[in-house]
Every structure is written in structure tokens, then in C-alpha cells.
Structure 1
Amino acid sequence: MSFLDKAKDLLAQNADKVESAIDKAGDMVDEKTEGKFSGVVDKAQDAAKNAIHKDEPTQ
């Protein structure tokens, strides 16, 4: 199993914690930039969250 496969497995097992970290990081960027880039930050957060769930089977 490669490093990348191990990382994907770890992300899948802790998706809720990773999403929380993504939200906190985005909030921090918004705070530091006084919301000037909130649209861009929101898109980046959505893209990161979608990447986490990319390999999950759909139900």
C-alpha cells in the first residue's frame, strides 16, 4: 500500500475531523483578510471537502 493510499484511508476514516479543520482554516483566512476573499475561500473549502468524499461510493 502506497503512502497516498494510506493517506486516503486515513482521510476517509476521519472525514468529519478533516471537514472541521477545513472550516476552521477558512474562517481564519476570512478573519485575517477581513472577508475580502470570502467567495474564493468558500470555493476552496468546497473543493477540499469534495476531494475528501470523491472516492466514497454513492448511495
Structure 2
Amino acid sequence: MAGGGTAVLCQVLSGTGGVGKTQLAAHHARTAWQAGAVDLLVWVTATSRDAVLSA
């Protein structure tokens, strides 16, 4: 795209408690941050839709 568009990437992890979702998400976030692949990194406790929107 010559005009410099914006790309929004999203990953969703789901599953029951204790299967390692948080550790997987933390590893992915840390790796992306250290590689300089992201300009902004926000960690949100997503207990509900409202919690995500307010964060």
C-alpha cells in the first residue's frame, strides 16, 4: 500500500483455566516487543468486555 495504511493484528486465546494461556500470551508479547515488531504494547486483564473497553 503506497499511502501507508494501518494494519491491526489480533490474536485470541481461549480455553479452560490452567492450560497456559497467560504464559503463551506473555511469551508472544515479550518476543514481539524485544524484536521491535510493535510500537505499543498493552496488557489488559480481560475479565469482561467492559474491562477491555475501559482499559
- Give the TM-score normalised by the residue count of structure 1: 0.41
RCO (CA 8 Å, sep 6+): is it higher in 1 or 2? 1
